[in-house]
C-alpha cells in the first residue's frame, strides 16, 4: 500500500456521534449498524494553510483534484485520469424573468465523463479502492452511480460488479456493458438491488461503493459545493436546488458549501431546496411532518430519484434544516415538462431527475417558498441522452419529408 497523508482526523457517526479512526473495513458505525452513517472529519486549520482564496487563485488544476487538501485522498494516491468537475455555471436570465426570479444559474453536471453528477463520488470510490490495494469494486444503483462506477473502474483498471433494477433505462445499462462491468439486472426494485449488492460485497469481498454507507463517496459529492463556493464567492445565490433520492447529493453539496465558508472563500450560504418526485417523496414527508421516515414503494419515471427507502435521510434532513431551506415534491408531468423548458432556455438537456430540480423551482415559486427576485442555482445532475424514451414523450414529431424542397415548403406552411 502507498503511504498517503491526508488532513482527515477521523470518522463520526451521524446517529450517536461516536468518533472512529479510519479503518479499511469500516463502512458504518459498528454500534448503530446500517443507519449509523459516518461522516469524514478534517483538521481545518491544516486544510486552510493549503486551501484558501490565495492558493485557489493560483491553482491551475481544472478538476475536483484542486480541492485535494479537503478530500480523503492522499498526495501519493493514484488518481483516475478522466477529466472531472469544474463544471460550468450558466446564467439563464430569460427563464429567470419568466419564473419571476432575480436570477437563475444552471450548474451543468450533465457533462461529466459518464454524463452525471455521480462521477464525483465514483472518482473517490475507485481511488480509495486502489489505495487499499483492492482490484474489485461493487455498487447497487438506480443507474447513474453504476454507469459512473463502471467508467471510472475501467479508467483505473479495476473490475466492477454492478446491481441495477432491470427496469433501469437502456442507455445506462448499455454504458455498463460497454465499460466492461459485470452486470446483474435485478428482477425487483432499486431497494432490493441495494440489499443484494450489500450481501454480495460482504460475501465476495468487493470494495463497496454504495454512497450512503461509504462515507468517502459523499466527500466526492461535496466537490460540487466546493466549486459553487469558489465560483460565486461573495455572490452566492439565495437558493440552491437539487433533486433528492437517497439524499447523498444534497448532503454532499451542503458539506462542500459549509467548508468553503469555513475556509473563508464563500461569504454566505444559500438555502437548500430539496426536490422529490411525488411518487417517491419519503424525505419530503418526513421533513413536512417531523415524523421518522416511512419507507414506501417508489413510483416515478425519474429513475435516478426513484428511491422508496432512502439511505441518507439523516444527513439530507439536517442539511436542509441547517440551511433554513425546504423540501418540495413535483409530479411526473411537471418533471417531464421541465426537460424541454430547461433545454430550450439554456441548451442543457437533462434527464428527468436532472430537470426535476427546475420543476421544483416552479413549484416553490407558486407556493411562495421561493420569493420574487430571489436568485436561484439549479443543479442539472444527469444528461438527457441517458433516458431518451421519457424525453421523447415531452416533444412533438419531426416532419417526415421526401428529399424534395416542395415537401419542406409544405411542412413550413403547416407550421
Three-state DSSP at 364 gives helix
Least Å distance between CB 267 and ligand PLP?
27
Asked if residues 223 and 64 have their Cβ atoms less than 8 Å apart, the reply is yes
Cβ nearer to ligand PLP, comparing 304 with 323: 304
Alpha helices in 34-118 (DSSP H): 44-50, 53-58, 93-98
Cβ nearer to ligand PLP, comparing 154 with 335: 335
Alpha helices in 134-281 (DSSP H): 144-156, 170-178, 190-204, 215-221, 223-232, 248-262
Cβ nearer to ligand PLP, comparing 59 with 331: 331
Least Å distance between CB 315 and ligand PLP?
10
Binding site for ligand PLP (CB under 6 A): 116-118, 144, 243-249, 304-305, 351, 353-354, 381-382
Cβ nearer to ligand PLP, comparing 113 with 354: 354
Least Å distance between CB 244 and ligand PLP?
5
Cα gap 329→141, rounded to integer Å: 22
Cβ nearer to ligand PLP, comparing 69 with 194: 194
Cβ nearer to ligand PLP, comparing 77 with 388: 388
Asked if residues 381 and 164 have their Cβ atoms less than 8 Å apart, the reply is no
Least Å distance between CB 3 and ligand PLP?
32
Enclosing H/E stretch for 333? helix 332-346
- 59, 63, 64, 67 alpha-carbon torsion, rounded to 10°: -10
Least Å distance between CB 369 and ligand PLP?
19
Name, in order, each residue with C-beta under 8 angstroms of 317's C-beta and a sequence gap of 6 or more. 247, 283, 286, 287
Write out the DSSP string of 162-204.
EEEETTS-HHHHHHHHHTT-EEEEESS-HHHHHHHHHHHHHHH
Taking each helix axis as running N to C, give the angle between helix 352-367 and helix 332-346, from 0 to 180 degrees, rounded to the nearest 10.
100
Cα gap 275→330, rounded to integer Å: 7
Q: How far is CA 377 from the centre of its chain?
A: 14
Cβ nearer to ligand PLP, comparing 7 with 313: 313
Overall size of the chain counted in residues? 415
Asked if residues 188 and 140 have their Cβ atoms less than 8 Å apart, the reply is no
Least Å distance between CB 162 and ligand PLP?
14
Residue facing ligand PLP at closest CB distance? 382
Three-state DSSP at 89 gives strand
Asked if residues 285 and 268 have their Cβ atoms less than 8 Å apart, the reply is no
Cβ nearer to ligand PLP, comparing 268 with 393: 393
Least Å distance between CB 353 and ligand PLP?
4
Cβ nearer to ligand PLP, comparing 7 with 304: 304
Least Å distance between CB 207 and ligand PLP?
19
Cβ nearer to ligand PLP, comparing 270 with 282: 282
Least Å distance between CB 160 and ligand PLP?
17
Least Å distance between CB 320 and ligand PLP?
12
Amino acid at each position: 500500500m502507498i503511504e498517503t497523508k491526508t488532513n482527515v482526523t477521523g470518522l463520526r457517526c451521524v446517529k450517536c456521534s461516536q468518533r472512529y479512526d479510519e479503518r479499511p473495513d469500516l463502512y458504518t458505525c459498528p454500534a448503530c449498524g446500517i443507519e449509523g452513517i459516518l461522516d469524514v472529519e478534517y483538521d481545518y486549520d491544516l486544510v486552510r494553510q493549503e486551501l484558501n482564496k490565495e492558493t485557489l487563485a493560483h491553482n491551475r488544476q481544472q478538476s475536483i483534484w484542486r480541492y485535494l487538501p479537503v478530500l480523503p485522498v492522499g498526495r501519493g494516491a493514484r488518481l483516475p485520469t478522466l477529466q472531472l468537475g469544474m463544471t460550468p455555471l450558466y446564467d439563464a436570465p430569460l427563464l429567470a424573468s419568466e419564473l419571476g426570479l432575480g436570477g437563475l444559474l444552471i450548474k451543468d453536471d450533465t457533462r461529466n465523463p459518464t454524463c452525471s453528477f455521480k462521477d464525483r463520488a465514483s472518482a473517490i470510490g475507485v481511488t480509495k479502492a486502489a489505495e487499499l490495494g483492492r482490484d474489485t469494486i461493487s455498487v447497487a444503483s438506480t443507474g447513474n452511480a453504476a454507469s459512473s462506477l463502471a467508467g471510472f473502474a475501467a479508467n483505473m483498471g479495476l473490475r466492477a460488479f454492478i446491481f441495477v433494477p432491470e427496469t433501469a433505462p437502456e442507455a445506462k445499462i448499455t454504458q455498463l456493458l460497454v465499460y466492461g462491468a459485470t452486470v446483474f439486472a435485478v428482477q425487483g426494485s432499486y431497494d432490493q438491488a441495494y440489499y443484494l449488492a450489500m450481501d454480495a460485497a460482504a460475501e465476495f469481498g468487493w470494495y463497496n461503493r454504495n454512497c450512503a454507507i461509504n462515507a468517502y463517496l459523499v466527500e466526492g459529492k461535496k466537490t460540487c459545493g466546493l466549486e459553487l463556493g469558489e465560483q460565486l464567492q461573495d455572490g452566492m445565490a439565495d437558493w440552491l436546488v437539487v433533486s433528492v433520492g437517497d439524499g447523498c447529493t444534497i448532503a454532499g453539496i451542503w458539506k462542500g458549501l459549509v467548508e468553503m465558508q469555513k475556509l473563508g472563500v464563500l461569504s454566505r450560504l444559500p438555502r437548500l431546496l430539496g426536490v422529490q418526485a411525488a411518487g417517491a417523496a419519503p424525505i419530503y414527508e418526513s421533513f413536512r411532518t417531523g415524523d421518522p421516515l416511512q419507507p414506501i414503494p417508489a413510483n416515478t419515471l425519474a429513475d435516478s430519484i426513484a428511491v422508496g427507502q432512502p439511505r441518507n435521510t439523516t444527513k439530507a434532513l439536517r442539511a436542509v434544516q441547517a440551511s433554513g431551506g425546504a423540501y418540495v415534491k413535483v409530479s411526473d408531468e411537471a418533471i417531464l415538462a421541465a426537460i424541454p423548458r430547461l433545454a430550450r432556455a439554456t441548451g442543457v438537456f437533462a434527464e428527468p431527475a436532472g430537470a426535476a430540480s427546475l420543476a421544483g423551482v416552479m413549484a416553490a415559486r407558486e407556493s411562495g417558498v421561493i420569493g420574487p427576485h430571489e436568485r436561484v442555482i439549479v443543479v442539472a445532475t444527469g444528461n438527457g441522452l441517458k433516458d431518451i424514451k421519457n424525453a421523447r414523450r415531452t416533444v412533438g414529431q419531426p416532419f417526415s419529408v421526401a428529399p424534395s424542397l416542395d415537401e419542406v415548403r409544405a411542412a413550413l406552411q403547416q407550421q
